[in-house]
Chains A and B, each alone.
Chain A
Amino acid sequence: MTTILLVEDVPEILKTQAILLRKAGFEVIETASATGALEILASEHIDVLFSDIRLGNESGLELAYQVHRDYPEIAVVLTTGYSGGAHEIRWPLIMKPYLSEQAVQLINKTLLQRGNI
């Protein structure tokens, strides 16, 4: 089963998206911060990092760069509700508000392109 590390600082989005992604057949580990994500990455097997770009005082983009550097086997998918600078992002991006079905499609597409599935 594909394991997603879901990083989102809005608790309600985090909880509901985790439930919806689990219903879609993924194993989901949730965290509200980039620091929490790095701790999880150090101890758990993760296939996909699905992170918000704005994480309060932290940056999901920096987290993505760190994951790309330290865990190149992990696929990265980002999300944001912030329109500025979205074109500069090198990873697959889904704009908020999105349906979980759209997120699932993008995650699966990314995994397929990387040859993970």
Chain B
Amino acid sequence: MMPDDAGTIRQQIGEILGTVRGLADAVKEVKEEGNRREDRLASEIRTVKHEQRQSDQVITSRMELLTTQFRELDSKARLISEELATVKHSVGELEKLKEPVKRLEALRERFVGYGLVITSVGAVIWYFIGPVVSDLIHKLFSKQ
């Protein structure tokens, strides 16, 4: 082998080594970039998941609150229904009493009518015999 050839080969080897180093650096850079992207992506996924869980929590809380409020309203509605049934029953009972009360009222009015007649007749009688009876009583007591 000629010295010139050896020099050329060394030079070529040096160039190849340089290229290999360059390629290795490029691969390293690509790998690092890949890792960075992976990290960014993982972080973004975590953020998206976090936001998703926050939204899920909002919905869960809302649903829970609505269910609780629905239960409370249902319980109140039941109480009102029970009260309504009691009131309806009382109204029914009052309806039954309507007729006897009407009869009693008619009876009372009749009595009031009789009472007026009796009072009037009594007044007329007293008008005629009252002075005589009064005079008689006066005489009886004055004799004593």
Contacts and interface: CB of A to CB of B under 8 A. Distances in A.
Interface of A: 10, 12-13, 16-17, 19-20, 23, 54, 81-84, 95-100
A13 B53 CA distance: 12
Q: How large is the interface on B (under 10, 10 to 19, 20 to 34, 35 or more residues)?
A: 10 to 19
Interface residue SS majority, chain B: helix
Contact of B54 (A10, A16, A84, A100): A10
A17 B46 contact: no
A16 B50 contact: no
Interface in B58-102: 58-62, 64-65, 68
Contacts of A95: 53
Given A81-B54, A96-B56, A16 B61 contact: yes
A13 B46 CA distance: 20
Given A82-B46, A83-B46, A84-B46, A20 B54 contact: no
A46 B60 CA distance: 26
Contact of B53 (A16, A19, A81, A100): A81
